[in-house]
Structure 1
Amino acid sequence: MSAVDTVVVAGRDAPLWLAAATIQQALAPAGVIVRAVELPSALAPGDVHATQPALEALHGRLGIEESVLLRLTGGAFSLGLNIVDAVGQAPSFLIPFGGIGTQIEGQDFFPFWLKARSLGLDVALEHFSLAAAAARQGRILFPDDATEAYGRSDYGYHLPAIPYARSLKAPAAHLGVEIHEVSFARAEHGEDGIVALLLDGERRIEGDLFVDAGADLPSDRPRESWRGAFPVDRVLTATGPRFASVPAYAELRTGEGGWTALYPAAGHTHVLHAWSSAHRGDEDAVRDAAATSSMPLDAITIRRIDPGRAADPWVGNCVAIGKSACTPDPVFDVGLHLAQLGLVHLLACFPASRSHAAQRAEYNRIMRSATDRVRDFQSAFYVTSLQPGPFWDDARAADRAPDLDHMLATFAARGEIAPFEDESFAPDSWRALLIGQGLVPERWLPPIDRTDPAVIKDQFRAMLGFVRDHVLRQPTHDDLLRRIAHGP
């Protein structure tokens, strides 16, 4: 029997069901009872989750079949994010889900590419990525022995948020989660934290540990603002027409007044436009979103956004995950990624005794570090941008953490990605972002100079040939979505 007998998860939408199902699946064998308190949805029709690859593994643990999930949600696969200068002053670049290149004589690929580039190589970094090549050709790459020998290859999803949340409820119930649908919930506090939740002013549910997945328990949790680090304070979501051929990647288009992201799905294209109210009004932003996306928009919803995080996500016997723990900037859509990180670390720090103090302190330390790393990856997009305009001037002048300054300085010097504890974005993701933004290192790591240039040239040819041939054998995204839509 666990030291915690009953976990009450209160919140809404996908974070609620992912938290309840994950805790139930992991801890039911120890006798833990999980109760989910479902509050009314806060989602709009245009909302979508552009997920990181790790979510696929979590779905597998919860018994969620991929084809069924995509059929129920009208979702699609994604192999990365393409960043486009809508003004046309800079070339586009893709941040792929997966590795870029393969080792040469036991050394990392990237410094060899840097050296070759300085000597006149005119082949973009993404051409050495299986995921990027597949995305550009409208194909979906599933990892196999050949791709694993070449390097890491992953994929994420574009999941319309309303049907995705709905689709998670049944697996949670199947795993044994006890479900309570309510209009509101209020915490009843005792000397050591929350004692129970009062549901709709009538029912009372007790628990040992409470997980706040969007219920604001407690409502006065101390918060650290990230307002100074990000220029965006307004976000528009909408739906647009389905692409005739559904791209296997998302696209972020930068414009003078902000940026617009397109997330293709099987039924619609989901559009997110981000801007600053200091430079654009809401009506201007609606026009910007339609112009930059180049499509008519429907189901438009506009929200205020205030990025920041809880000073301590675990207070007393209440652990915050999702937006209750951290409201990130919308770039790269990391909301579910942060919720999943919170769940992974909660299970690792789950109380082994009635006293939570040691586990609580460790969890708070890890989550501060993990959210720092995510924040810095998002911040790097803004501070390295070359886009003109007042919005981007503010973005480049925004506050940045010393760790990010160190990351950018070490990369600019020799192309190194400084290792930080609790980093959840791979070095190749950082490299793709920074190179794409125009930050090209001055030098490379000296050990690669011992490798014969002829060997490097042969290896480059072999990599490009493998990427081309292997990608051409993969199914097209459209064919795969058609097969999924038609069922088994």
Structure 2
Amino acid sequence: MSAAFTVIVAGRDAPLWLAAAALARALGASGVRVEAVELPSALAPVDVYATFPALEALHAQLRIDEAGLLRATGGSLTLGQNFVELEAGQSPELHPGVRRGTVRVSPQPQPPFLHAYGSAGARIGEDEFFPHWVKARAHGLNVPLDDFSLTAAAARHGRLMLPDDQSAGYGRCDYGYHLPAIPYSRLLREAAIHNGVTVHTADRVIAERQGETIAALDLGEGQRLAGDLFVDTGGALDADFLSWRGHFPADRVLTAAGPAFASLPVYAENRAGPTGWTALQPSRPATCVTHAWSSAHASDEEALAAATTASGLPLTGAVIRTLDPGRPAQPWTGNQVMLGARFDPVHGLDLLGLQVSLVQLLADFPAGAGFAAERDAYNHATTEALDRLRDFQSAHYALARYAGPFWEGAREVSPDLAHAIALFRARGELAPFEEENLPPDSWRALFLGHGVEPESWPPAIDRASPEEVKAQFRRMLGFVREQVLRQPMQDAWLARLAAPQS
């Protein structure tokens, strides 16, 4: 790689700084120069980044200390997302220990389910746990899958599950974050500068093009920035987008702040109503409330009222934005690379999509001036990976049995998703996809939570005797109970982080 190779990263807020810092950290030693063009922030004080567990690994690469991150942002950990259906117009019950009002659900609601960030059960001999659980349930077992999951069981008991050697020997325990967006972006900006990123600010950018190639960016006021590769972290540069509108019913999203909980919950909650859904994402300064809906079924004023009712909280600082989900038709064209996609807000995949694209870009980073082969590899892998994340989100809408006009319209289902649903229903297996970035447990939680019940199981597991399986199940349940009781409450754990360091 030539020492003169320059990467220009354009965008705003956390996506800009994550990408710029990661590129500088990974490539700076090889002589690559990274410059960031910072556009005006699109964040409001009420915004929170709700993240998946994979972000922790990126933080580690950037040498971001977790304790310092949580202290600087007022953030918290989250063990997953709980999905419930509430009857419109009723005051809901909140997380354990912070109850207000009474739950009132529709006459035949879809049962709630928890998408926990961890695995369930341990291997039995050479086999995975899950097919044994499917078989046992067909023979009368009445123990939920969550009871075998350290993460899910801890969440249900209002405790964190912090991985250690004992839990690692049993199964995967992960957590994500709820990070107030403005202080998080500020911390990432400092990390990018620390890693050698040169920062330029601009109100807007115009790409000076020669065919598909960008020669430079016009930043206004006589500023012109030339480079070899231009990276767009959020629509700063022109790109053709492939619409995902047919997969998602929501075209409007509201974010607002409610009071912080007296006892900080360890998971987020998504509450389905007849005209949309409302998510509560707790952090220490406040509770971020996100409400997504279709303008065909509710006005902005009605949506704010629905969010207030569904959350059970007094809301302030409401901001309403338009949703237009989709991905770049070709993420890399010429010397311009687009990271991530415009996701629906359910599940909070924005930063994960950016991270997936960023990791792929580092894998395919050009070794010289001509990079057609790297571009083709990136486009193939990235489009498949982003479409897979889209399918996970769209499955929530396609499979949900919630009542109300928002949920009743047919949703577009991709052939890959249709195949995945059919295979899981047939024998509890997950379709193998090369560009998969979600763990199997996330797909299982989603499918089971929406009533996709496996009708059979792989016959190879029948070699284990019922007595052996029962003994293993009892051992696992005892281990989970024992480990959960050892875990701290989030408030106590965060208080220890905030204590002066001796």
The interval holding the TM-score normalised by the smaller chain is over 0.9
Q: Who is 1:411 aligned against?
A: 424
Per-residue CA distance 1:352-382 (angstroms, 9 max, x = gap): 1211211111111111100111011111111
Partner Cα separation in structure 1 for residue 209 and residue 394 of structure 2: 38
Equivalent of 2:248 in 227, 230, 251: 230
Letter in 2 for 1:376: D
Percentage of matched positions with identical amino acids? 55
Q: Does 2:367 correspond to 1:352?
A: yes
Q: Who is 1:461 aligned against?
A: 474
Partner Cα separation in structure 2 for residue 364 and residue 371 of structure 1: 10
Within a 5 Å distance, the mapping from 1:100-115 to structure 2 comes to 100-115=120-135
Partner Cα separation in structure 2 for residue 235 and residue 141 of structure 1: 31
Question: Which sits farther off after the overlay, 88-97 or 27-36?
Answer: 88-97
Equivalent of 2:274 in 256, 259, 267: 256
Q: Who is 1:193 aligned against?
A: 213
Q: Who is 1:135 aligned against?
A: 155
Give the secondary-structure state (helix, strand or coil) at the position aligned to 1:424: coil
Question: Which sits farther off after the overlay, 343-352 or 205-214?
Answer: 205-214
Q: Is the 8 A contact 1:3 1:354 kept in 2?
A: no
Matched length: 481
Q: Who is 2:461 aligned against?
A: 448
Q: Is the 8 A contact 1:128 1:464 kept in 2?
A: yes
Partner Cα separation in structure 1 for residue 474 and residue 445 of structure 2: 20
Q: Is the 8 A contact 1:315 1:360 kept in 2?
A: yes
Structure 1 position 255, deviation (Å): 1.1
Give the secondary-structure state (helix, strand or coil) at the position aligned to 1:248: coil
Within a 5 Å distance, the mapping from 1:278-357 to structure 2 comes to 278-322=296-340, 326-357=341-372
Partner Cα separation in structure 2 for residue 248 and residue 203 of structure 1: 47
Q: Does 2:376 correspond to 1:361?
A: yes
Unaligned runs of 5+ in 2: 88-104
Q: Who is 1:147 aligned against?
A: 167
Q: Who is 1:246 aligned against?
A: 264
Distance 1:428 1:192, change over 3 A: closer
Letter in 2 for 1:86: L
Structure 1 position 200, deviation (Å): 2.5
Give the secondary-structure state (helix, strand or coil) at the position aligned to 2:386: helix
Structure 1 position 182, deviation (Å): 2.1
Letter in 1 for 2:191: P
Structure 1 position 99, deviation (Å): 0.9
Partner Cα separation in structure 2 for residue 138 and residue 398 of structure 1: 35
Structure 1 position 4, deviation (Å): 6.5
Per-residue CA distance 1:29-68 (angstroms, 9 max, x = gap): 1011111111110112222111111111111111111111
Q: Who is 2:93 aligned against?
A: none
Give the secondary-structure state (helix, strand or coil) at the position aligned to 1:49: strand
Q: Does 2:450 correspond to 1:437?
A: yes
Unaligned runs of 5+ in 1: none
Per-residue CA distance 1:307-339 (angstroms, 9 max, x = gap): 1111011111111114xxx11111101000000
Per-residue CA distance 1:107-133 (angstroms, 9 max, x = gap): 111111112212222211111111111
Partner Cα separation in structure 2 for residue 383 and residue 32 of structure 1: 44
TM-score calculated relative to the size of structure 1: 0.96
Q: Is the 8 A contact 1:79 1:140 kept in 2?
A: yes
Partner Cα separation in structure 1 for residue 145 and residue 500 of structure 2: 37
Within a 5 Å distance, the mapping from 1:113-128 to structure 2 comes to 113-128=133-148
Q: Is the 8 A contact 2:79 2:266 kept in 1?
A: yes
Structure 1 position 402, deviation (Å): 0.4
Partner Cα separation in structure 2 for residue 147 and residue 183 of structure 1: 49
TM-score calculated relative to the size of structure 2: 0.94
Structure 1 position 438, deviation (Å): 1.2
> What is the alpha-carbon root mean square deviation over aligned residues?
1.3
Distance 1:191 1:445, change over 3 A: closer
Letter in 2 for 1:320: M
Give the secondary-structure state (helix, strand or coil) at the position aligned to 1:56: helix
Partner Cα separation in structure 2 for residue 380 and residue 256 of structure 1: 18
